[in-house]
Amino acid sequence: FYRSPAKFNPPITAVAPGEPWLKVRPLKTGDYRRGFLQSLSQLTNVGEISEAQFLNRFAEMRAKGDYYVTVIEDLRSNKIIGSATLVIERKFIHSCGIRAHLEDVVVDDTYRGKQLGKLIVVTVTLLAEVLGCYKMSLECKDKLIPFYRSIGYVDEKGNSNSMTLRY
């Protein structure tokens, strides 16, 4: 499997994320009340989402089976302090292959310097490989390019320039 060039110092893992009160795990329905959406609002506009809306969207994602939302919880406050989503796209090409997209990566400002962004990205990147994806791609702000490079992502210039149409 993928050996990330990312260096962890001290050496943390998803199972032992550096502090006994931090837990890396899949999203659960109760995470609405654990501040999951407040945490996401550090990334972009989340909007006013009721618990029913959240549960409905989460049920849709689970029914599809192609969404893997991973969160980090602070067990002291029972708050979600970071998350990342892996979305799988089904293809005809690459022998009916599957491709992974890394989406909505966020770690609370107040938890900076604990390597948690790196940890969650490495974790879902490995998960995509275990699931059989032939590649994982993402879009990010320019200032985050060095971060993703340090984890092994490459900007394939001229080949896959990221382009957007906004509605």
Binding residues for ligand 16G (CB under 6 A): 43-44, 102-105, 138-140
Q: Which is nearer to ligand 16G, 44 or 159 (CB)?
A: 44
Q: What's the closest the beta carbon of residue 56 comes to ligand 16G, in angstroms?
A: 20
Q: Which is nearer to ligand 16G, 27 or 102 (CB)?
A: 102
Q: What's the closest the beta carbon of residue 58 comes to ligand 16G, in angstroms?
A: 17
Alpha helices in the chain (DSSP H): 36-40, 51-64, 93-96, 116-130, 145-150
Other beta carbons within 10 angstroms of residue 22's beta carbon come to: 20
Instruction: State the Cα–Cα distance between residues 152 and 146, nearest whole angstrom.
Output: 10
Q: Which is nearer to ligand 16G, 12 or 69 (CB)?
A: 69
Residue given tokens 């490495």 in the structure block: 122
DSSP helix, strand, coil percent of the chain (3-state; round to 5):
30, 20, 45
Could you tell me the two tokens for 4? 């990330």
Beta strands in 8-160 (DSSP E): 22-26, 67-74, 79-90, 98-107, 136-137
Dihedral sign, CA of 113, 114, 120, 121?
positive
Q: What's the closest the beta carbon of residue 26 comes to ligand 16G, in angstroms?
A: 18
Q: What's the closest the beta carbon of residue 147 comes to ligand 16G, in angstroms?
A: 10
Instruction: State the Cα–Cα distance between residues 148 and 24, nearest whole angstrom.
Output: 20
Q: Which is nearer to ligand 16G, 33 or 112 (CB)?
A: 112
Residue showing the smallest CB distance to ligand 16G in the complex: 44
Q: Which is nearer to ligand 16G, 75 or 145 (CB)?
A: 145
Q: What's the closest the beta carbon of residue 75 comes to ligand 16G, in angstroms?
A: 24
